[in-house]
Structure 1
Amino acid sequence: MSYFRKNSGTGNGSQTANTPLRMKILVGIIVILFAALIGQLAYLQLFYGSRFSAEVNATDQTTVTKAVPRGVMYDSQGRILVGNKAENAITYTRSLSATSKEMYQVANILSNYIKITDEKPTKRQIADYYLADSNRAKKVLSALPKSQKKSSLTTSEINEYEVAYVENTIKPTLSTKQKTAALLYNKMSGASTLSTINLKSSGLSNKEIAQVGEHLSSMPGVGIGTDWNRYYPNGSSIKSIIGSVSTTKTGLPSDNLQYYLVNGYSRNDRVGTSYLEKEYEALLKGTKASYKVTSNTSSNTVTKTKQVYKGQSGASLKLTIDAKYQAEVTKALKQQFNSALSAGAASLSSGAYAVAMNPQTGAVLAMAGISYDPSTKKVSDNALGNINQSFVMGSVVKGAQVAGGLINKVITPTNNTLPDTAIYLPGTSVKKSVYPVGTFSSLTAASALEVSSNIYMMQLTLRWVKASYVAKKYIHMPQTAFQTLRNNFKMFGLGQKTGIDLPGESSGIEGSSTDSSGNILAGSVLDESYGNYDAYTPIQLVQYVSTIANGGYRMQPYVVQSIGRTSSDGKHFYTYYNKKPTVQFKIPWTTSELAVIKQGFYQVVHGTNSWGTAHALKNVKPSISAKTGTAQTFYYNTKTGKSTDTELINETMVGWASSNNPQIAFAIVFAGIDPDLEGSYNKNMAKAMVTSYYKLHKGKFSSTK
């Protein structure tokens, strides 16, 4: 018998009854959460509302700088050597909200009114300009393979693919106006936010200014301002000393970019790139004006501009060089060199150089130079050749050689006669002077200087270094012979940098001291003794002769006399710093030993020996004391980089005036003169340098002997 229990259905009824309760619980939870949210919002509004409002209207502060005029350079008499010439400029200030599209449009509009003809856009600039058109950019992007536009690539990486596609596949050809627009777009897009740059300043016509001015409202950011360029009111012959300044186009030198950026420069700032402009860049550049610009971050608008610092123009330099005297020396040098060219004497020359210095202070009075290229026959100014070109100078250094003999007691003021017997080395030709062997049986030191005796200097050297010598049989020089002579020359500044305040100075060139086996070159030691071996610079020569002229003080040459500030009206110069003469070394000679050398230099011009080398200058007023020189050299082919067998001479001269009151010392070099056409170019130049200097300073100095 089976029993079955009937389902009463109480389970389903209970579930149905519980449903409204669960819904009520959920609704309650939701109500509580909404209430909490509303409460939180109310709390934030009441207690933090102002803070959030401030953040929404937050501002950003940016410091913007503005360039100031570069320092001026004056000559010793206060004449402007290089100044700043204001010029009109079309400017662009990049706003906070400036987009590539806007700059592209502005560049296209502006290209209707101005032309840029001194620049050509690069392939990259053309591509960037091409892609600035959004329609063209879309087409280029769609043409790229998928691998070059996948989402994992950065925007800049994709852009590089786009540029490459434009450069290599499309290769757009631009009209003249579009090329200008491409350059303008490149300049605009390269500008920093809120910075002002020059779009065009050089060669801007009145018509261009007028047309741009009429349409400024259609070109956001474009304006009309001023720019400056360096100018040289007293001639550009001194420009190679002053140096150059970069343009806004070239901006900062790429080889030292990080240095300038770290020191607060902008990429398009102008900086000194050579010589004085570079050497004194930190002073000449001045301090930029500084403005604090406040902008609203939500609207990208400038709300306030406040000047923090008005800026300070660059410091000005007063040089030791007299512009008028510089012009006279340059003119005379060109006249003499052209005369040598006309005579055929300088057809293979590398140029000519002349430098004048105050022997009492080291102040450079004038520095002129000419570079000549025999292959192109091009003549160019190269005043800096006086500090960076080295030449074998010849007999002009004999004053230092005699001084060494006196200081080391090889000869004395009362006993300095040596036999004028030529030197015969085994297996070589005779080593002698210009005049015939046997012309003199013996010579004093002063007479040897007057007739420029090579023999005297060699005989002095044999005794000085204690060499063993038998004519035509053998010669033995101690290993220290070269160093003995060179140490003596260096006391006078020959063979080492003078320390002049110009970059790029050369120390000269030392010839080899030994052969491949390590044996001293005995014959070359003798050549060294009369200036026919090592090479020196003209600035070293003038320092050397100044040391004799002033009594034995080796003065450091310099070209910047003082540093100061130019008044706003440009009429006054206020000095901050004044250069004091610097003595680098005092020659350890006695007064009587110095007198021997000075007498020799005086006799070179005023002596009576028929073999005297500069008697043609004896009537020049004021009196000149000097030493001439010729040195054997060979033609150096700059194209092949090799010397040839063509023999030439360097025609040189050093001296001072007046003889008993030295106010000017000079050094002159005519390099690579044909020995068969040797002239008086060095002596003519010396006369011009002395007479023009005293003419400009008439009555300032007394000059007798």
Structure 2
Amino acid sequence: MNYFRKNSGTGSNKQASTPLRMKIILGIIFILFATLIGQLAYLQLAYGSRFKSEVQKSDSTVVSSQVPRGVMYDAKGRVLVGNKANNAITYTKGASTSSEQIYKISNALSNYIKITNEKPTEQQEIEYYLADPEVSKRELAKLPASQKSQKLEQAQITQNVENQVRKEHIKLNSKQKTAALIFNKISGAYTLSTIYIKNKDLTNKEIAEVGEHLSELPGVGIGTDWQRSYPNGSSIQSIIGSVSTEKSGLPSDNLQYYLTQGYSRNDRVGTSYLEEEYEPLLKGTKSTSEVTTKGSGDIQQTKTVYKGQAGASLMLTIDAKYQKEVQSTLKRVYNNALSAGAARYSNGAYAIAMNPKTGALLAIAGLSHDPKKNKTTENALGAINQSFVMGSVVKGATVSGGLINKVITPTNNTLPDTAIYLPGSSVKKSVYPIGTFGSLDAETALEVSSNIYMMHLAMNWVKAKYVPKTYINMPNDSFEILRRNFNMFGLGQKTGVDLPGEVSGIQGKSFNSKGQILSGSVLDLAYGNYDAYTPIQLVQYVSTIANGGYRMQPYVVQSVGKTSSDGKKIYINYNKTPNVQQQIPWTQDELNVVRQGFWRVVHGTNGWGTAHPLKNVKPSISGKTGTAQTFYYDPDNPNRKNPPELINATFVGYAPSNNPKLAIAVVFPGLDPDMEGTYTLQVAKEMVQDYFKLHK
């Protein structure tokens, strides 16, 4: 009994202490709340205005804008590519611009401007349509419960709404379509970046109306945009290249590079040829502005800090008038070849002119032809990125190598003109009948374009062992010996021209699958019927002969400078210095052998001379013709049996013969061998005559 009384007493004490503890805890909580309320009241009364100003205070950010790209001039100071200033409606996006605000601005701006050169896509129309809160709410209500369940992600619900609107086939009027385009442009803009809403065909009325309502259009402004213009025609554009649009922005393949260089994603950059090669100079220095924003994110003020610096000006070595003449001549003669059926399977034609003493390129013309569609387009840069087996035009390098390596000498260079008979293959000979000549000296061999002479010279040079119809033994380094010689003249390697995309040519195989040297191909290489070269390599090669042995680096940009603000003067900061890449180690007597041979190709009296139609051209031309066997390749039928047999027709030359100021190369690949004609000589003739007519 005492035990139960004790426990009972203890229980009554605990029950008595509980209310006291609760009172203590509640008291503490009350005191804390009272302290918090007091502190909030104190802060509100003492610092309220200060906090309010902090929220409303503005913030400044520096933003940049593009400046006009550099101008390009021809050798005579004519503008090849400039900038056309266009009035533009701009928009600078605030830090916290909502979709609803963009919708309102787009609708308001569409009252004053029209965009007719673009059409919104279906997706853009839907996004604009749903930007109206009332419309979005109404369309959401139409969805079945399963498509707007809280279990779905918001992106999926949005997609469901868009799919529903797509099925409704909404129709926007012209004003709404303009608003949809504006909405899309602004929505895609980066915060505090300035974009062009309309920068083409902006009328004075549109400018005036937008200007009157700028206070109602936050972020909208009136500015100037620049677009590339070609006052001397667009034919030179295939050399100059192109610039990306604001819409396409930075090229995706070089995106990270440009971003690290300070570009914005929608900046316009050079995407090909000179525009790309000289992008760092042409882009200029961006202007900078200080954009002040309110605490709400709206733009309060924009102030120009630095006007920027327009891109550098480039003066090219190309004469616009001569370029136009060469391109016109090439096109006319090539069309004649097409009409005659001679170029049915041809893939184009190329012509290039160079100052042999400096390396300055004077004209680069090219055509690309699609035999399937029978369509011809301009392709001047094919002269640096297309390779062809060039034929006998390279024989000047073969003879030079024989002289330099003392295989022949200026006074002892006669070789037998007997055809080459290799075991298991057809006879290797020249164009003229076997037995026409018993022997030939180097000058005559060049004049009549003897393949036999070049093959005998090559065999002596590499010390081959040869027994007609029995065997031929070529040292394993034979290809290396001949190619090293051709490389001295620039054949088979990049010239280093200041244009992107140059190729080095195509080198044929040296050995078969068993590791045996292809002896017959060594002989083919000697007279230009094996490796493939580019037209620009040909003109560098013939220039080396023309100037006495200096392989000059070709170039297109002569100088870099700055155009005055009125556009009338150019202040030159840099001039290109001609660059000698290699000097040919021949004597004057050795050089004279080759030059005499080239002169006789045009002016000789032998009936097998190959360029006599140029004999009466003034000033005097020296040069070399060439043909090389090729075949038509059908990309749709690569394994086609018995493809048409064709020839590549070529010519290299220089004028005047005694003091060369012009070197040229002409290439007509893929001609019908029965209809070769004199197409390359026709182009060469007019290239020389037109140049000296313009440069008296």
Same fold (TM over 0.5): yes
Superimposed CA distance per residue, residues 265-288 of structure 1 (whole angstroms, 9 cap, x where no aligned partner): 222221111111111111111111
Correspondence for 2:228 among 230, 243, 263? 230
Residues of 2 paired with 1:490 and 1:153: CA distance? Answer: 68
* Range 360-369 or range 375-384, more displaced: 375-384
Cα distance in 2 between the residues matched to 1:568 and 1:110: 33
User: Matched residues in 2 for 1:44 and 1:469: separation?
Assistant: 109
1:328 to 325, 328, 332: 325
Matches of 2:317 and 2:332, distance apart in 1: 24
Q: Given the alignment, which residue of 474, 478, 489 partners 1:477?
A: 474
Aligned positions of 1:178-257 closer than 5 A: 178-205=176-203, 208-209=206-207, 212=210, 219-257=217-255
Unpaired segments ≥5 residues, structure 2? 1-18
Q: Which residue of 1 aligns with 2:401?
A: 404
* Cα distance change of structure 1 residues 147 and 335 upon mapping to structure 2, 3 Å threshold: same
What residue in structure 2 maps to residue 538 of structure 1? 535
Once the two structures are TM-superposed, the CA of residue 180 in structure 1 deviates from its matched residue by 3.0
Q: Does 1:69 align with 2:73?
A: no
1:628 aligns with 2:625: yes
Structure 2 counterpart of 1:226, one-letter code: T
Opposite residue 180 of structure 1, the aligned amino acid is T
- Gapped regions of structure 1 (runs ≥ 5): 1-18, 699-705
What's the counterpart of residue 269 of structure 1? 267
Indicate the percent of aligned positions where both proteins have the same amino acid. 66
Higher mean displacement: 598-607 or 87-96: 87-96
Query: Is 1:292 paired with 2:290?
Result: yes
The more displaced of 359-368 and 153-162 is 153-162
Residue 506 (str. 1) matches residue 542 (str. 2): no
1:78–1:153 Cα change, 3 Å:
farther
Q: What residue number does 1:90 align with?
A: 89
The match for 2:521 is: 524
Shift of 1:158: 5.4
How has the CA–CA distance of structure 1 residues 280 and 164 changed in structure 2, closer, same or farther, with 3 Å as cutoff?
Answer: farther
Q: Distance in 2 between matches of 1:211 and 1:640?
A: 61
Moved more, 592-601 or 200-209: 200-209
Displacement of 1:433 after TM fit? 0.8
| Deviation digits for residues 42-62 of structure 1 (CA, Å, limit 9, x no counterpart) | 69977x788646523432111
8 A Cα contact 2:650 2:666, kept in partner: yes
Q: Secondary structure at the match of 2:364?
A: strand
CA displacement at 1:259 relative to structure 2: 2.5
Larger deviation: 61-70 or 453-462?
Answer: 61-70
Counterparts of 1:258 and 1:609, CA distance in 2? 63
Provide, for residues 16-41 of structure 1, a one-character-per-residue CA deviation record: whole Å limited to 9, x for no partner.
xxx9xx99999999799968975897
Within 5 Å, give how 1:502-651 maps onto structure 2: 502-641=499-638, 645-651=643-649
Contact 2:364 / 2:383 at 8 angstroms: preserved in 1?
A: yes
Q: Does 1:460 align with 2:457?
A: yes
Is 2:120 the partner of 1:121? yes
Seen in structure 2, the aligned counterparts of structure 1 residues 480 and 23 have a Cα distance that, compared at 3 Å, is closer
What aligned pairs does 1:32-431 form with structure 2 within 5 A after superposition?
A: 52=51, 55-96=54-95, 98-142=97-141, 159=158, 162-163=161-162, 166-167=165-166, 170=168, 172-205=170-203, 208-209=206-207, 212=210, 219-297=217-295, 299-431=296-428
Amino acid at match of 2:623: A
**Paired amino acid for 2:456:** Q
Tell me which amino acid in the other structure corresponds to 2:361.
V
Cα distance change on mapping 1:302 and 1:373 into 2, 3 Å: closer
- How far does the alpha carbon of each residue in 1:507-539 deviate from its partner, in whole angstroms, 9 at most, with x for none? 111122222333222222111111111111000
Q: Are residues 631 and 31 of structure 1, via their aligned partners in 2, closer, same or farther at CA, if it must alter by over 3 Å? A: closer
What is the RMSD of the two structures over their aligned residues, measured on CA atoms? 3.0
SS at match of 1:636: coil
Which one-letter code corresponds to 1:591 in the other structure? Q
1:59/1:200 Cα in 2 relative to 1: closer, same or farther (>3 Å)? closer
Alpha-carbon distance between aligned partners in 1 of 2:24 and 2:473, rounded to the nearest angstrom = 124
Does the 8 A contact of 2:73 with 2:314 survive in 1? yes
Equivalent pairs, count: 678
Q: What's the offset of the Cα at 1:70? A: 0.8
| 36 and 444 in structure 1: CA distance in 2 versus 1, 3 angstrom threshold | closer
Q: Which segment is superposed worse, 104-113 or 255-264?
A: 104-113
**What residue is the counterpart of 2:437 in the other structure?**
440
Query: By how many angstroms is 1:669 displaced?
Result: 0.4
TM-score (norm 1): 0.89
CA shift digits 1:189-223 (9 cap, x unpaired)? 12233433212223445565566556656544444
Shift of 1:290: 0.6
SS of the residue aligned with 2:409?
coil
Report the equivalent of 1:8: none
Change (3 A) 1:26 1:152: closer
Inter-CA distance 511–23: structure 2 relative to 1 (3 Å threshold):
closer
Return the alpha-carbon distance in structure 2 between the equivalents of residues 81 and 417 of structure 1. 52
Task: Give, in angstroms, the shift of residue 668 of structure 1.
Answer: 0.5
Cα distance in 1, alignment partners of residues 263 and 49 from structure 2:
40
1:256, CA displacement in angstroms?
Answer: 2.3
* TM-score w.r.t. length of structure 2: 0.90
C-alpha displacement of 1:117: 4.0
Deviation at 1:457, TM superposition (A): 0.4
3-state SS, counterpart of residue 466 of structure 2: strand
